[in-house]
Amino acid sequence: MTATVERAELHEVAVPLRVPFKGAHITVTERRVVLVRLVAGGAGGWGECGPVPGYSADDVDAAWEALAAAVPGLLGHPPDPAPPARLTLTAAAAVSQAAADLAARLAGRPLWRAMGGETGRITAGASVGLHDDPAALVDRVGREVAAGYRHVKLKIRPGHDLAPLAAVRDAFPGLSLAADGNAAYSRADGETIRALDAVDLDYLEQPLPADDVAGHVLLAREMQTPLVLDESAAIPGWQEALAGTGAGIGVTVKPGRLPWPDVVATAKLDGPDHRFRIGGMLELGVGRAHAAAAATLPGYSLPTDLSPTSRYLADDVAGGMPLADGRLTLGERPGLGVDVDPDRMAAATTRKLIVLG
Ligand code: OSB
Ligand code: MG
């Protein structure tokens, strides 16, 4: 007999960042997220809804309302990773995550294996925000390298690009390095963007606006550095815009904004028109563990920027995955493989809703 969902919980929690994280259009000082828990047959599955203000299209208040309206409809049904309609992007992802974790726990399998992952170790990465002082940036990257990271992604913006990137490259000649423009450039900045070829980046993420996939294809033809879409992948149309281009454009998939069935399907599109990577959005431990599980799928071949959450969060409600030798290990425990600590959860909770069948 298949277990059906008998209880749903929403927990809104707020956790401060260790230091503010700056991108071209954002400064993140705290993460406010909604953790979704679905319970069936004595097991509980967790998902995380964590829109980033200024980056994500939806916000946590809208997501809360949508989740509160949707979760009663999940009761009495088996956990289904395909989310119900009428949810915001990040709310749909969170419900999908909770159902997928629950289904994997009920089946007694690690989530990453249930989703098609082949090896439970992934290469970690560190995303480093904008620094006004290049020396401070080099110092910060040095600390990431000393901690074991082998891949570092640096935020850039117009006026803060080639010089800081070149300073980091000079200090760390062999480091796997990438840059993220967060859509802050325009086609008129072509010369500035092409000059970044001098830095030997693994990839350059989303220099141009979200709605300009064609501009990225044009740039890719003029550059050695591979280009990767991020903001463009959050709106429909990127797949059609890349089809047949052969431009080798990469796409950042974020499990915090894409339901599990789509994360699995996207990995299978790996080919000459596009390559894929899993990216983070400063998740708490629940969302981070889902992202890490996705990164074990064979189609996600470009480097991740996934680290343990302790790198950027002062405290977290869920225990993390260990970093060893520049890699994260997922383990063989059923489901997500991380535990939510009830005491830390209670201390960080700002609102809560429990729905019983
Ligand atoms: O553009 O990839 C991005 C964080 C929040 C919102 C957007 C982005 C990011 C990151 C951080 O770059 C990656 C991470 O989670 O460490
Ligand atoms: Mg990005």
Q: What is the pLDDT of residue 342?
A: 93
Q: What is the pLDDT of residue 271?
A: 87
**Single-letter residue type at 274:** H
Q: Indicate if the pLDDT at residue 349 is higher than 80.
A: yes
pLDDT-derived band at 274 (thresholds 50, 70, 90) equals confident
Report the alpha-carbon distance of residue 229 to residue 209 in Å, rounded: 10
Helices (H), the chain: 60-70, 89-107, 111-114, 134-146, 162-171, 190-194, 213-222, 238-242, 260-267, 285-295, 342-348
pLDDT-derived band at 259 (thresholds 50, 70, 90) equals very high
285 alpha carbon – ligand 2 mean position (Å): 19
Torsion of CA 346, 348, 350, 356, to 10 degrees: -40
For residue 282, the ligand 1 atom closest to its alpha carbon is 15
pLDDT-derived band at 320 (thresholds 50, 70, 90) equals confident
Considering only residues 270 and 143, tell me which one the structure prediction assigns the higher pLDDT.
Answer: 143
Residues 6+ apart with CB under 8 A from 282: 17, 21, 28, 31, 50, 52, 312, 313
Q: What is the pLDDT of residue 272?
A: 83
Report the alpha-carbon distance of residue 278 to residue 299 in Å, rounded: 10
Q: What is the pLDDT of residue 178?
A: 98
- For the chain, the straight-line distance linking the first and the last C-alpha, in angstroms and rounded, comes to 18
Cβ count near 202 (within 10 Å): 20
Q: What is the pLDDT of residue 357?
A: 84
CB of 181 closer than 6 angstroms to any ligand 1 atom: no
| DSSP track, 73-139 | GGTTS---SSPPSS--HHHHHHHHHHHHHHHHHHHT-BHHHHTT---SEEE--EEE---SSHHHHHH
Of all protein residues, the one whose alpha carbon is nearest to atom 12 of ligand 1 is 127
What residues are neighbours of ligand 2 (ion), with CB under 5 Å?
Answer: 180, 205, 230
Pocket test for ligand 1, best of 282, 302, 304 (most atoms within 8 A of CB): 282
DSSP annotation of 226 reads P
Q: What is the pLDDT of residue 312?
A: 97
Q: What is the percentage of the chain residues whose pLDDT exceeds 70?
A: 100
**Do residues 318 and 338 make contact, with C-beta atoms less than 8 angstroms apart?**
yes
Instruction: Report the pLDDT averaged over residues 85-100.
Output: 96
CB of 144 closer than 6 angstroms to any ligand 1 atom: no
Instruction: Report the pLDDT averaged over residues 6-28.
Output: 97
Report the alpha-carbon distance of residue 348 to residue 357 in Å, rounded: 26
Handedness of CA 297, 302, 307, 309 (dihedral sign): negative
CB of 263 closer than 6 angstroms to any ligand 1 atom: no
Of all protein residues, the one whose alpha carbon is nearest to atom 1 of ligand 1 is 182
The 349-356 sheet, strands edge to edge:
43-49, 27-40, 7-22, 349-356
Instruction: Report the pLDDT averaged over residues 273-289.
Output: 96
Q: What is the pLDDT of residue 321?
A: 86
For residue 311, the ligand 1 atom closest to its alpha carbon is 16
253 alpha carbon – ligand 2 mean position (Å): 10
Render pLDDT for 180-221 as a digit per residue (tens, 0 to 9): 999 999 999 999 999 999 999 999 999 999 999 999 999 999
Q: What is the pLDDT of residue 2?
A: 85
pLDDT-derived band at 273 (thresholds 50, 70, 90) equals confident
Instruction: Report the pLDDT averaged over residues 237-253.
Output: 94
Instruction: Report the pLDDT averaged over residues 256-279.
Output: 95
Of all protein residues, the one whose alpha carbon is nearest to atom 11 of ligand 1 is 281
Of all protein residues, the one whose alpha carbon is nearest to atom 3 of ligand 1 is 281
CB of 305 closer than 6 angstroms to any ligand 1 atom: yes
pLDDT-derived band at 106 (thresholds 50, 70, 90) equals very high
Handedness of CA 300, 301, 304, 308 (dihedral sign): positive
pLDDT-derived band at 1 (thresholds 50, 70, 90) equals low
Q: What is the pLDDT of residue 301?
A: 94
